[in-house]
Amino acid sequence: MNGPEDDTLDWHGIDWAECEENVRRLRQRIFKATQDGDLKKVRNLQKLMLRSRSNTLVSVRRVTQQSSGRKTAGIDGERALTPAARGKLAAEIHRSSQPWKARPVKRVFIPKSNGKQRPLGIPVIRDRVLQARVKNALEPEWEARFEPRSYGFRPGRGCQDAIMAIFLTVKGKASKRQWVLDADLSAAFDRIDHDHLMSSIGQFPARDLIRGWLKAGVVDRGRFAPTEEGTPQGGVISPLLMNVALHGLEQAAGCQYRVAQAGREPGASPGTPVLVRYADDFVVLCHDEAQVHQVRTRLEDWLKPRGLRFNEEKTKVVHLDEGFDFLGFTARRMGGKLIIKPSTAACKRLRERLRTEVKALHGNNVEAVLRRLVPIVRGWAAYYRAMSSTTTFASLDHYMWRLTWNWARRGHPKKSRYWVVDRYFGRFHPSRQDRWVFGDRDSGAFLPKFSWTGIVRHQLVKGGSSPDDPALAEYWQDRRRRKAPPPMDKTSLVLAVRQQGLCPLCKQALIAGAEYEPDSPREWINWFAASKKMLHKHHFTYRRHGGSDERNNLRLVHSECHRQHHAGDGKRTTTTC
């Protein structure tokens, strides 16, 4: 696990499958020791993880290759975008014996859905790698402790699990939990109490590093400001620290669960509330209005010593007949039946984006329009396909038709409507008899419709199940096999399903290439926009050696794995080499 420390490191020569397996095995040992209550063994294994060469290499790879922020530099302006730079960074971090002093983060802002700005703190590249290393040591310990209905920023869990947990809790006419505390914490990442958080972490071997990152400060437009509370959004370890700070929220709300029967999800005890949390957003499903206010009072007292409080503007008490919005969905009881569909606000944001994108594309050719719009359609539909989105998809298809029709008519004002239809609309999809598909006659490329994405119910993760639990290896393998594949081109889709969603070169998940999948419409859209660069089709028998483009000669692999595989070929690789 700890190999020789050479002055030079051949990045393309690293066996990533072995490194990932070493890290996975250590994480499982930490998880099992925590389950057994052997704290001494947990700390020894965490020290081993922090010294592991495989952990260092995997951390550098995730930060500098797989992260969406790999091209964003901290206050030092340094990045590692080449194999040589990555190898040098990994060698320096692994060989270093001197204590590292955390550097301040760089303040940047990204727009929020309400028009405001969300502050992010971007650590320097070395701090991000060290945070990834520390996270691999700390996360499995807490995965064995976290409560069952916590779904945000945890491996193997996501938004769809949170929405499905709500659906399964209050579906049907017999459900008695019809009052909801729709809660939101005010600037949670910026207000976490450092002392309380550090006491929760306990005697973790790298606690001094974590405290250093919490106290590192912020540089905003050249001005330094100390950080006496909170953990900056943008750090690799920040979401985990948020989950640690909020651990115990379900217990504080009074949630209780029956003993799980074999093969079944443990249900909530009668008369008790159910809390479903995604990061700092959560809802509490209660039996009556009095219970809602009682739960809110208890939670306010529990949050206060942690430096947190409710956002009064966004926190409200509602009845299920009125409905509430959560993670871009609207949940509402209609005629005794719970309906969960894309929220009105989410649809409005999408229409505004589509309208803005098409307006900016006036004067461009149809290829540019498809390149910009296809990821938006596929990404948005992929996020919302697990709930009742059929009517919404049909409405968005009509809106998209109007946008593309007006774009085509504007580009050819002297042509007749029949000419425009013949040029830009037709039966482009080989298996659908729809003559109003927008596309390019020359290349055959077309704009998919929202309604082509079928509704596939998400399978809720069971209780406190974690990928770090060695006893559940078969469960997670089966879950990955049954998972609905992303809507992509037919060849890539067939290959992904045949490979069970794994890259055959590094044995890791194809989507995102890390432990987390896209978990919001924006992340899905960004993933599809970059998918041609992220995933390549690898030929068993190279084309220059007479290999064909038939599916039995292809495998879908990560682009970085593809480049590494061909690094010794002596030829420059392309998307389909």
pLDDT at res. 286: 94
Confidence category of residue 115, pLDDT binned at 50, 70, 90: low
State how far the Cα of 346 lies from the Cα of 178, in Å rounded to an integer: 24
- Residue 476's Cβ-count burial label (10 Å; 0-12, 13-18, 19+) is middle
The answer to whether 328 and 519 are in contact (CB under 8 A) is no
Give the pLDDT band of residue 528 (cuts 50, 70, 90).
confident
Among 123-137, 356-370, 452-466, which stretch is predicted with the lowest mean pLDDT? 452-466
**Dist. CA 215–CA 199, nearest whole Å:** 15
**CA 147: distance to chain centroid?**
20
Q: Residue 514: is its pLDDT beyond 50?
A: no
- Residue 507 has a pLDDT of 74
Nearest to 544 by CA among 570, 519, 502, 577: 577
Tell me which range, 139-148, 471-480, 509-518, is most confidently predicted by mean pLDDT. 139-148
pLDDT higher than 70, residue 388? yes
For the chain, the average pLDDT equals 87
**pLDDT of 407 higher than 80:** yes
pLDDT in tens, 87-109: 999 999 988 877 888 899 998 88
* Dist. CA 377–CA 373, nearest whole Å: 6
**Mean of pLDDT values over 47-67:** 93
Task: Single out the residue of 299, 301, 329 nearest to residue 315, CA to CA.
Answer: 299
Residues 545-568: what's their mean pLDDT? Answer: 79
With a pLDDT cut of 70, the percent of the chain lying above it is 93
What pLDDT shows up at residue 189? 87
Please report which confidence band the pLDDT of residue 6 belongs to, taking 50, 70 and 90 as the band edges: very low
pLDDT of 348 strictly over 60: yes
For residue 489, report the phi and psi dihedrals to the nearest 5 degrees.
Answer: -65, 155
pLDDT surpasses 80 at 393:
yes
* Length of the chain in terms of residues written: 577
Examine the pLDDT at 262 and tell me if it is beyond 70.
Answer: no
241-245, 447-451, 572-576: least confident range? 572-576
218-220/105-111 β-pairing: parallel
Q: Mean pLDDT throughout 266-284?
A: 88
The DSSP annotation for 194-208 comes to HHHHHHHH-S-TTHH
